[in-house]
Amino acid sequence: MPTVLRQHAEDQYAEELAALAASDSRQRPPNWRLSPWAVTTYILGGTLDNGVTISPKYVGSRRLMEVAVSTLATDRALLLLGVPGTAKTWVAEHLAAAIAGDSTLLVQGTAGTSEESVRYGWNYARLLAEGPSMQALVPSPIMRAMEHGKIGRVEELTRVPSEVQDSLITILSEKTLPIPELNSEVQATRGFNIIATANDRDRGVNELSGALKRRFNTVVLPLPATMEAEVEIVQRRSAEIGRALEIPAEPPALEEIRRIVTIFRELRNGVTADGKTRIKSPGSTLSTAEAISVVNNGIALAAHFGDGKLRATDIASGLLGAVVKDPVQDQIVWKEYLETVVKERDGWKDLYRACRELS
Amino acid sequence: MQTRLFGIRHHGPGSARSLLRELEKLNPDVILVEGPPDAEEILPMVAHADLQPPVALLLYVPDEPKRSAFYPFAHFSPEWQTLKFGVERGIPVRFMDLPQCYQLGWGEGRSEKSEESLKSLRSEEDVSDEEDSEDEAAALPTRRDPLEWAAEAAGFTDSERFWEHMVELRSDHDSEDGGGIFAAIQELMTAMRSEIPASERFLSEQEEQREMQREAWMRQTIRAAQKEGFERIAVVCGAWHVPALAELGPAKRDADLLKGMAKLKVVATWAPWTYDRLAMHSGYGAGIESPGYYEQLWAYPESVAAHWIGSCARLLREEDLDASPASLIETVRLAETLASMRGMSVPGLTELTDAIRAVLCFGNETHLALIARKLVIGEVMGRVPDDAPMPPLQRDLQQEAKRLRLAQEAMEKSLDLDLRKPNDLDRSRLLHRLALMGVDWGHRDEYSNAKTSTFHERWKLQWRPELVVNVIEACMWGSTVLGAATARAIELTDAAKELPALTALVERTLLADLPGAINLMMARLESLAGVTSDVAHLMRALPPLASIVRYGNVRGTNTTVVEHVVDGLVARICVGLPAACSALNDIAAAEMFRSLQSVNEAIHLLRREVHVGMWKDTLEHLARQTGVNGLVAGRCCRLLLDQQVWSSEDAGKRMSYALSRAATPLDAAAWVEGFLKGSGLMLLHSDALWQIIDSWVSGLDADSFTLLLPMVRRTFSTFPSGERRQMGERAKQAGGSVRGRAIETDVDASRASLVLPTLALLLGVAPVVAGSGT
């Protein structure tokens, strides 16, 4: 058993990747570990000819994933857009793992991301001692990806300041990174590409310039379309995480997950599941990812403080924390929801009581 | 002798291309096409330069145009290309489907239920009335497209995709063995027809029977052609029918099947069609999802992807959206990669759309919707030569338009009608009738501020080509404009469930002068008014009817029937109003305020003693009733004052009563608002009204005044500031009237009198003695 808390995708699913590579006879783009078809299968799951089952990493539209993989195969950069918690990062990581066998070449976009972290920096001790040289250069993950023909990832691209964003333009259009200090450059090896993720909701923060936008193919990842799809995602992911953390609890009952997903969907859409009543929506995003963490939180509570079975009392605090992000406004929304929807619903009495005790 | 069968898909460009090539090779001496033999006589028109697809063959029963069938064709329809091929080369072309004179008769003999069975009877090509079919499509169990089985087996998501890739997008249409596709189609269909049980294929036994009859007729046509000694017979039909035509079998069985079918008289004509109607979502059975795309596929078979993406880019640029040539290249590349990933040789519409979304639209669905509407479907309309036979309604309309000298022009132009002139009156009637049928040639120009007298009517006219389709659709209601409009009005009458809708309809019907519909409508109006418990509805119904009674004479309509209905309405309103006015909230009260006002106007428009008497009683009752919202009660009081039922003292008493301390401030404010709303000028010029308000305000003690001031202010603040200022000035003059009082002066009389003699001289009057006058 590995000791790291969270394994990289290429390590966690090493067996699946190996099996896919073994049975994959289709043509591979230069420097790709798998063919585009096999990459899609890795993401969406399926059964191989030799009987190996590939677990689905992304539950959703096949067409979207095909567009994403094809984009990378045409050496265009891929921009994954979507509201928080729609598995953008998750998809990006697995795409990088499947295509390049390495998902670690990552630049995390923040308001403080500087040009050095996208291009290159300097080891100043060496710079002073030896003068400018390739050895004094500290390459960014993107530069390393270019050198080795791998997939570089930029997370939260829209949070990065505009001028730093635009330093990607040369890399994407010329496939080269000039180093004027050394009168040299790094040219991308075949197989290099970039996957960026960005958030729909904070598009306004640092919107991509037209020039940069044109260099990306955009794939919008939607929220799960149906209740069933969302329940499946929550169930699958919480079971995986539970296994990884070795929580000594039973896997959560489908019933509890269904309740949580129902609450999330209702509050997110502002309408009850039967479509009859309008309710207020809180300011929080209430993504699928948060639903997963509510379940996990509940399982942990149940395992360590409860009877090992996920019950209403275990999920109540997680729910409260996920919904109420603004202590004043969201609190009102949540209370209204409790009193008008949860209280009335058949078989939800336990949840209502548990939530009431907390608030 | 050789008989070749070509199974095609209606409107498939790839099929059309393969077919043409095969026809060239075969050089047939007769061509049989799946189509209505009733329309053979107008076939030569295919070669007419003015007949531009999309067009449709329209077949209808002249006495009952509701029974009709459309056979639409686009440029890329294999049938259209076959017809052109035959007509241009002088090869005899025959239609071989079961004639519509039999098909349109199906469902007869059960006239009550015929609506229902007519729907299920609808074969692949015919559609009798599209509007209804959309509503009922959900209710009817749908037959599964047999191709879906094959598509599923081949790993496609739907049959459209399957067919597109297997047949339409093939690049070997022009190659030597391209004809192999027809053999393959025949094989596929044979397999499906034998594998899929009849219960899966048909909704009812009736339907199965009908398909058997159609195929029997096709076989009989082929036999006849063979008997006539044609050497090379080409048969073009829907792929589905091919297996049934491959083996002719004994003629006797087919003859038996076709025995004893009722025959109707059927007329055929060409009608212009649009791509929009060709597309599936307009409820047309054998429609296609993407006529606009198929047109490009037909025009540029080699490089459809580039052309398609190019036209998408042009469209985006027209809408001021970014679409650079570099992005276009990337879009084509992505589409091609996607296609190869999905195991296809050429990108289809799905791949192109996915690529356009990712590259050109930046994942934005709204841009994509624009492309879907303008390009995938396409805004194209066909043309029909002027000498084509026309449905009777259209003929009638053209004759009428000619008689009334109304030109069908694409430019919008205004028309000012003087209804006192017979010609203008007829024009107005024609336009109103067309509007009733949904043919919106003109719309009323309500906002023009020119002559507003009752005998003037202003229109804006614009003839859009798609109105022809509306006219043809209106054929189902009748064969003359008058007849169709009457039938439509009656249909709408039956459908009207609520009183206001019905009265609006009555108004339109009277404008259109449809005597055949009006009696029925009045009967319906009376029965509806009888059961309507909602007084608000009754009140809304009254004003339009009243104006008909009052002003109907200009149009020469007989209004006695309407008068009877109006009598009933007034009586019902007067009885129901007191109950309807109790316990109204503010919103409902505002609504009631307006209704009260318009009913009051209507009653005074009618000037009937009985009505006015009843109305006064009702108003008095309301004004005294407790629990009536202040807005309504105030207005009642005011109306009574205006009609001099109540004297100023009565009204004044009522006012101080309503505004006394016992009343809640909100009610009091509402009362004042109801009493005075919208009558700032009235207040200035009517002494009686002024006196009431003035004496009430002056009679208040200081405390009450402070208490009431905000509420009164609320009403007064709605008056324009000019009026308010004048009111203030008037109040300043201690209750006098504005007119009678001179402007206050501080003139030195002795000095002013100095000018008087000169003034007198100028005016030519006797000089006044200084100091004796002002």
- Look up residue B407 and give its two tokens: 């030109």
Residue with the two structure tokens 């309301």 = B622
Each residue of B455-488: pLDDT tens digit? 778 888 877 656 766 787 777 677 788 888 888 8
How far is A131 from A124, CA to CA, in rounded Å?
Answer: 9
Sign of CA dihedral A69, A70, A72, A76: negative
Kindly determine whether residue B363 and residue A69, on different chains, have CB atoms separated by under 8 Å. Answer: no
Residues in chain B within 8 Å Cβ distance of A225: none
Min distance B337 CA to chain A CA atoms (Å): 6
B137/B239 same-domain check: yes
How far is B165 from B158, CA to CA, in rounded Å?
Answer: 11
Each residue of B398-429: pLDDT tens digit? 788 888 888 766 667 788 888 888 888 888 88
B472/B614 same-domain check: no
How far is A274 from B352, CA to CA, in rounded Å?
Answer: 37
Residue with the two structure tokens 């007198």 = B760
**Predicted pLDDT of residue B35:** 84
How far is B469 from B547, CA to CA, in rounded Å?
Answer: 35
Min distance B27 CA to chain A CA atoms (Å): 45
Each residue of B611-631: pLDDT tens digit? 888 888 888 888 887 778 888
Which residue in A has a C-alpha nearest to residue B343's C-alpha?
A: A37
B66 band by pLDDT with thresholds 50, 70 and 90: low
Orientation angle between helical segments B13-26 and B291-299, nearest 10 degrees: 40
Min distance A69 CA to chain B CA atoms (Å): 9
**Average pLDDT of chain A?**
86
B764/B655 same-domain check: no
Question: Which residues have a Cβ under 8 Å from the Cβ of A156 and sit 6 or more positions away?
Answer: A108, A109, A110, A197, A198, A199
Kindly determine whether residue A214 and residue B327, on different chains, have CB atoms separated by under 8 Å. Answer: yes
Is there a domain that residue B494 lies in?
no
Residues in chain A within 8 Å Cβ distance of B361: 218
Kindly determine whether residue A214 and residue B326, on different chains, have CB atoms separated by under 8 Å. Answer: yes
> Domain total for chain B?
5
pTM for the predicted model, two decimal places:
0.62
B128 band by pLDDT with thresholds 50, 70 and 90: very low
Across B369-441, where does the E strand assignment appear?
413-418
Which residue in B has a C-alpha nearest to residue A208's C-alpha?
A: B362
**Average pLDDT of chain B?**
77
The whole-angstrom distance between residue A332's C-alpha and the CA centroid of its chain comes to 31
Q: Are residues B220 and B270 in contact, defined by beta-carbon separation less than 8 angstroms? A: no
Kindly determine whether residue B334 and residue A63, on different chains, have CB atoms separated by under 8 Å. Answer: no
Residue with the two structure tokens 């040299």 = A184
Select the residue of A40, A71, A210 nearest B358 (Cβ to Cβ).
A71
Question: Which residues have a Cβ under 8 Å from the Cβ of B735 and sit 6 or more positions away?
Answer: B691, B694, B698
Which of the listed residues B348, B378, B408 is the one where a domain comes to its end?
A: B378
**Predicted pLDDT of residue A255:** 83
B317/B448 same-domain check: no
**Predicted pLDDT of residue B114:** 36
B344/B428 same-domain check: no
Using a pLDDT cut of 70, give the percent of chain B over it: 83
**Predicted pLDDT of residue B622:** 84
The whole-angstrom distance between residue B226's C-alpha and the CA centroid of its chain comes to 50
Kindly determine whether residue A63 and residue B354, on different chains, have CB atoms separated by under 8 Å. Answer: yes
Select the residue of A66, A76, A217 nearest B341 (Cβ to Cβ).
A66
Is there a domain that residue B136 lies in?
yes
Min distance B318 CA to chain A CA atoms (Å): 18
Question: Which residues have a Cβ under 8 Å from the Cβ of A144 and sit 6 or more positions away?
Answer: A105, A150, A152
Using a pLDDT cut of 90, give the percent of chain B over it: 0
Each residue of B644-695: pLDDT tens digit? 888 877 877 787 777 776 667 677 778 888 888 777 777 777 777 787 777 7
**Predicted pLDDT of residue B72:** 82
Residue type, B95: F
Residues in chain B within 8 Å Cβ distance of A221: none
| Probe site for chain B from A26, A27, A72, A74 (most B CB atoms < 10 A) | A74
B268/B401 same-domain check: no
CA distances B469 to A169, B59, B439, B476, B485, Å, are: 53, 14, 9, 12, 16
- Look up residue A15 and give its two tokens: 């067996």
- Start-to-end Cα distance in chain A: 41
Task: Give, as one character, the DSSP assignment of residue B381.
Answer: B
Select the residue of B334, B350, B357 nearest A70 (Cβ to Cβ).
B334
Residues in chain A within 8 Å Cβ distance of B365: 220
Is there a domain that residue B289 lies in?
no
Residues in chain A within 8 Å Cβ distance of B322: 210, 214
* CB burial of residue A4 (10 Å; 0-12, 13-18, 19+): exposed
| Probe site for chain A from B309, B320, B336, B357 (most A CB atoms < 10 A) | B357
Kindly determine whether residue A217 and residue B342, on different chains, have CB atoms separated by under 8 Å. Answer: no
Which residue in B has a C-alpha nearest to residue A69's C-alpha?
A: B338
Min distance A293 CA to chain B CA atoms (Å): 29
| Probe site for chain A from B321, B359, B365, B367 (most A CB atoms < 10 A) | B359
Residues in chain B within 8 Å Cβ distance of A74: 330, 333-334, 337
Kindly determine whether residue B330 and residue A76, on different chains, have CB atoms separated by under 8 Å. Answer: yes
B204/B259 same-domain check: yes
Residues in chain B within 8 Å Cβ distance of A40: 341
User: Is the predicted pLDDT of residue B752 greater than 50, yes or no?
Assistant: yes
**Category of B661 on φ-ψ map: left (φ > 0), alpha (ψ -120 to 50) or beta:** alpha
Q: Are residues B108 and B65 in contact, defined by beta-carbon separation less than 8 angstroms? A: no
Q: Are residues B262 and B110 in contact, defined by beta-carbon separation less than 8 angstroms? A: no
Find the helix or strand (DSSP H, E) in which A154 lies.
Answer: strand A151-155
Is there a domain that residue B177 lies in?
yes
**Predicted pLDDT of residue B135:** 37
Kindly determine whether residue B334 and residue A217, on different chains, have CB atoms separated by under 8 Å. Answer: yes
How far is A89 from A93, CA to CA, in rounded Å?
Answer: 6
Is there a domain that residue B355 lies in?
yes
Question: Which residues have a Cβ under 8 Å from the Cβ of B591 and sit 6 or more positions away?
Answer: B536
Looking at the structure, give the CATH architecture of the domain made up of residues A9-220. 3-Layer(aba) Sandwich (3.40)
Min distance A221 CA to chain B CA atoms (Å): 9
Nearest to B30 by CA among B98, B94, B99, B95: B94
Min distance B327 CA to chain A CA atoms (Å): 7
> A–B: how many Cβ contacts below 8 A?
56
Sorted by where each begins, the domain ranges of chain A are 9-220, 227-358
Kindly determine whether residue A74 and residue B337, on different chains, have CB atoms separated by under 8 Å. Answer: yes
Residues in chain A within 8 Å Cβ distance of B326: 214
Task: Give chain B's contact residues with A (Cβ, < 8 Å).
Answer: 322, 324, 326-327, 330, 333-334, 337-338, 341-342, 350, 354-355, 357-359, 361-363, 365
Is there a domain that residue B720 lies in?
yes
Kindly determine whether residue B342 and residue A220, on different chains, have CB atoms separated by under 8 Å. Answer: no
Min distance A208 CA to chain B CA atoms (Å): 11
Residue B702 — φ and ψ, nearest 5°?
A: -60, -40
* Comparison of pLDDT for B494 and A203, the residue scoring more: B494
Each residue of B490-502: pLDDT tens digit? 888 888 888 878 8
Residues in chain B within 8 Å Cβ distance of A220: 363, 365
Which of the listed residues B477, B505, B536 is the one where a domain comes to its end?
A: B477
How far is A271 from A273, CA to CA, in rounded Å?
Answer: 6
Q: Which domain holds residue B773?
A: 747-774
Is there a domain that residue B712 lies in?
yes
Min distance A270 CA to chain B CA atoms (Å): 22
User: Is the predicted pLDDT of residue A52 greater than 50, yes or no?
Assistant: yes
Which residue in A has a C-alpha nearest to residue B354's C-alpha?
A: A67
Select the residue of B338, B342, B358 nearest A218 (Cβ to Cβ).
B358
Each residue of B179-223: pLDDT tens digit? 577 888 888 888 888 877 766 666 677 777 888 888 888 888 888
Kindly determine whether residue B338 and residue A213, on different chains, have CB atoms separated by under 8 Å. Answer: no
Min distance A31 CA to chain B CA atoms (Å): 17
Is there a domain that residue B308 lies in?
yes
Kindly determine whether residue A37 and residue B333, on different chains, have CB atoms separated by under 8 Å. Answer: no
Where b means 16+ CB within 10 Å and e means fewer, A304-324 reads eebeeebbbbbbbbbbbebbb
B82/B136 same-domain check: yes
B621/B693 same-domain check: yes
User: Is the predicted pLDDT of residue A54 greater than 80, yes or no?
Assistant: yes
B399/B373 same-domain check: no
- Look up residue B576 and give its two tokens: 């129901």
Min distance B298 CA to chain A CA atoms (Å): 27
